[in-house]
Structure 1
Amino acid sequence: MLPLESTDDRLPQAMKRVLLAVVPGLLVLFWVYGWGVLINLALCITTGLFVEAAVIKLRGQAMRATLSDGSALVSATLLAAALPPYCPWWLTVTAMAAGLLFGKHLYGGLGKNPFNPAMLGFALAIVLFPQPMTQWPAQGMDLFSALQQVFASSQAPDAWVQATVLDALRINKSLTMDELFAGHPAFGHFAGRGVEWVNLAFLAGGLFLLQRRVFGWHAPLGMLASLTLISLFCWNGSGSDSNGSPLFHLLSGATMLGAFFIITEPVSGAKSALARLLFGIGVGLLTYLIRTWGGYPDGVAFAVLLMNLCVPTLERFAAKRQTQVAP
């Protein structure tokens, strides 16, 4: 895995590749939800660069060299992709600023943060502002209406907001899976309408990063394999008490964004191969548990943050195993 020391000349190149790889997912998000995605992106990038520049100035560091590493831009882009489109501007700004301040600079900046900044900002937003964080739109808006919705909190059209497929499945008590896919507007072919294509787009970007060796396969494979196995083990068909098929969970929520763009972040994630594999397995298991029995419909952010706390233990375990198998 590529180290992310700020003095490493490879860091800006790696960040450029990550930004390039996330473009397909952002384009499909824009196709599904419209201008709210780009407004989120603009707000996150502006806030992220402002916070980064302010902290750098307070520390007396070289402004241009530090900003040019691209890490703040990547964090802003990933947070924008995770937040609900058309959420209030103040929520987006708060989440971005809090993610960088409490998830990165509080610990000394790039290379020292124990938590993923984008996921910390997302988790704080969903805890502090649960209602707007669950308002996912059923369709997009034109640019003027989108700006009104984000900056003036104008009244949205009736039935504009709908439950996500994960939320609908979690609260479902009587309908079978077949009935949900046939009648619920949020359900598509395999998972959420539109969201399944978003996940496939992020999967394509992630495979590009794997091919370019920006990160290793261990963490993504661990997360996707564990999520597949536990959802298969707990899957009971299409009954009303079903928790969803493996394909449903792989193509719902932020699964592929998490697997290829979040848990592969090397500073807050594990470093050694075995530890990265175990880290991914833990994220996959926790994501399913939170989705199915937790209080939030999608558990990727909380799963990542919980596993961030386990990284030192995973590294010690991996080092011990390596010592035991060494000749």
Structure 2
Amino acid sequence: MSNLYNVSASPHTRSRVTTTSIMQDVAIALIPASIFGIFNFGINALLIILTSIVTSVLTEYVYEKAMKKPLTTGDYSAVVTGLLLALNLSASVPLWIPVVGSIFAILVVKMLYGGIGQNFMNPALAARCFLLISFAGRMNNFQISAITNNDSAPNFLQYLNKGVIAIDGVSGATPLAAIRAGESVDLMNLFIGRTAGTIGETSVAAILIGAAYLLLKKVITWRIPVMYLASFSVFLMLFGGKGLDPNFLIGHLFGGGLMLGAFFMATDYSTSPITAKGHIVYGIILGIMTGLFRLFGASPEGVSFAIIFCNLLVPLVEKVTLPNMFGKEAKANE
């Protein structure tokens, strides 16, 4: 009897990967884009990031305290939501914008639907879309990069004359607005991040560094981002009217929030399919929807609306792509 083993309750195989470790990895991966955003746009970017993160954490804490629920602020999910929201905002917005957006993201999109894992769309992107609809003027006022060289000033003056940018002296045309206006863009500036845009979307290099970290840590897989970018590229070549024009194609890939969305928001565990086939189908739909919004929509951007729209399609994608079970159900008389 002394050789008997004690068997604990299932599961018997446990992973060291937890919600906290995943959220910490995502936060670490967003550090390069955050640092560049602060360097690019100055102290305003830092204040917006801090305000958004603090408001997100406080909102979750207050709600769970008021509802007498277990506290989950230590899992870093609220931190990631606040950081992602901030990186999707212009550095020129007033500080009450990230406050309103963070409260909406945590309270309305996340907590009222049951907390982490129960939300049906990405909280940060849902909040950004809410802010875009509610405060369009402030949300579309993009600050010119603080490190933009003087040689590019004539281009911004041209957009000012065309009415593409605001006249407050600190905002500028985004690369996507330039492309839509029929202009070419400097691809190296796009890659480095010397352009107008939101705090975290301008530097493709910084975003790819963070994406590489997530891939190496196996927090995300290649399927969703690669299929997203590939299907979007094919859509542009077929319907963009420019064929294989590299400036047009790469400008769309590097411009706006596509890279940030593809690697950091489309891959959100709660709002993306769980199967490998589902990842591929989901990525293809994302690319098509983003292409539709960008080429035929009123705004030159479209990533945020495309992702939250496709979040709603995830149950259908999973239903279609779930693998068949082995065997069959036995009849009652067998």
Cross-structure match for 1:133: 139
SS in 2 for 1:136: coil
Q: Distance in 1 between matches of 2:242 and 2:167?
A: 36
> Equivalent of 2:286, from 262, 283, 286?
283
Alpha-carbon distance, 1:325 to partner: 10
Look up the equivalent residue of 2:111 and give its one-letter code: H
Once superposed, what is the RMSD of the aligned Cα atoms?
Answer: 2.8
Cross-structure match for 2:295: 292
SS in 1 for 2:106: helix
Cross-structure match for 2:310: 307
- % same residue: 28
Alpha-carbon distance, 1:235 to partner: 4.3
Q: Is the Cα contact below 8 Å between 2:190 and 2:202 reproduced in 1?
A: no
Q: Distance in 1 between matches of 2:288 and 2:42?
A: 32
Look up the equivalent residue of 1:45 and give its one-letter code: I
Alpha-carbon distance, 1:25 to partner: 1.1
| Residues 216-274 of structure 1: per-residue CA shift (max 9 Å, x gap) | 22111111111121122234449xxx896221111111111111110111111111111
Gaps of 5+ in 1: 1-7, 142-155, 182-186
**TM-score of the two chains, using structure 2 as the length reference:** 0.79
> Equivalent of 1:123, from 125, 129, 133?
129
> Equivalent of 1:101, from 84, 107, 117?
107
Look up the equivalent residue of 2:169 and give its one-letter code: A
| 2:179 is the alignment partner of 1:169 | yes
| Residues 37-85 of structure 1: per-residue CA shift (max 9 Å, x gap) | 211101101110110001111221233xx11111000011111111111
Q: Distance in 2 between matches of 1:80 and 1:96?
A: 9
| Residues 147-183 of structure 1: per-residue CA shift (max 9 Å, x gap) | xxxxxxxxx985311121212333x2xx5x4xx44xx
**TM-score of the two chains, using structure 1 as the length reference:** 0.81
Look up the equivalent residue of 1:159 and give its one-letter code: G
| 2:203 is the alignment partner of 1:198 | yes
Gaps of 5+ in 2: 1-15, 148-165, 196-200, 329-334
Q: Distance in 2 between matches of 1:135 and 1:230?
A: 28
Q: Distance in 2 between matches of 1:303 and 1:237?
A: 22
Q: Is the Cα contact below 8 Å between 2:41 and 2:145 reproduced in 1?
A: yes
Look up the equivalent residue of 1:290 and give its one-letter code: F
What is the count of residue pairs matched by the alignment? 290
Distance change >3 Å, CA 254–CA 217, structure 1 → 2: same
Q: Is the Cα contact below 8 Å between 2:144 and 2:171 reproduced in 1?
A: yes
Q: Is the Cα contact below 8 Å between 1:15 and 1:69 reproduced in 2?
A: yes
Q: Distance in 2 between matches of 1:308 and 1:200?
A: 27
46-55 or 243-252, which deviates more: 243-252
Q: Distance in 2 between matches of 1:93 and 1:197?
A: 23
Higher share in helix: 1
| 2:62 is the alignment partner of 1:61 | no
